């Protein structure tokens, strides 16, 4: 058994399989994911686990070289916007553009978060 870090096997496997420039996302419970994109659904009930509770340990496991979020997060969900700015400094996109990019993701990690626009698209970097 693992002693530290993430213990969800599906999530750990997906993160370990990332290569440089691969895209993946961490999302709230309501983000529509295009068919064909793997969904790692961690939601238990609305609100559990929340977006940031999942995002922080994911970021501790991988190198991220770029990030994007919906422009709407700044006005509609300022707490998540501030946290994203501190954690990954995402470029803000129109929400429709954000959703279109999801089709390029290797996988989406769905949380139980029930707040609007608690989503981030991440591009894997290299650790050296």
**Per-residue model confidence (pLDDT) at position 27:** 98
- Counting the structural domains of the chain, the total is 1
Q: What is the CATH number of the domain that holds 80?
A: 3.40.1650.10
The domain of 119 spans 20-124
Asked whether the predicted pLDDT for residue 99 surpasses 90, the reply is yes
Catalytic (active site) residue 20: yes
Query: Which residues make up each annotated binding site for substrate?
Result: 28, 95, 117-119
Rounded distance, CA 121 to CA 100, Å? 11
Q: Which of 7, 13, 16, 20 is catalytic?
A: 20
Residue 38 lies in a domain: yes
Domain presence at residue 13:
no
CA distance 106 to 127: 19
Q: Which two tokens stand for residue 45?
A: 């009930």
45-97 pLDDT, tens per residue? 999 999 999 999 999 999 999 999 999 999 999 999 999 999 999 999 999 99
Residue 26, burial from CB neighbour count under 10 angstroms (0-12, 13-18, 19+): buried
Q: What is the DSSP letter of 12?
A: H
């Amino acid at each position: 058994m693992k002693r530290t870090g993430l213990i969800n096997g599906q999530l750990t496997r997906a993160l370990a399989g990332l290569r440089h420039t691969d895209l993946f996302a961490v999302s709230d419970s309501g983000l529509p994911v295009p068919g064909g994109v793997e969904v790692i659904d961690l939601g238990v009930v609305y609100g559990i686990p929340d977006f940031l509770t999942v995002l922080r340990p994911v970021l501790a496991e991988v190198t991220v070289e770029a990030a994007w979020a919906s422009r709407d997060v700044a006005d509609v969900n300022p707490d998540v916007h501030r946290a994203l700015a501190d954690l990954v400094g995402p470029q803000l996109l129109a929400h429709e553009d954000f959703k279109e990019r999801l089709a390029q993701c290797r996988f989406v990690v769905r949380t139980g978060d029930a707040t609007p626009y608690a989503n981030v698209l991440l591009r894997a970097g290299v650790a050296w």
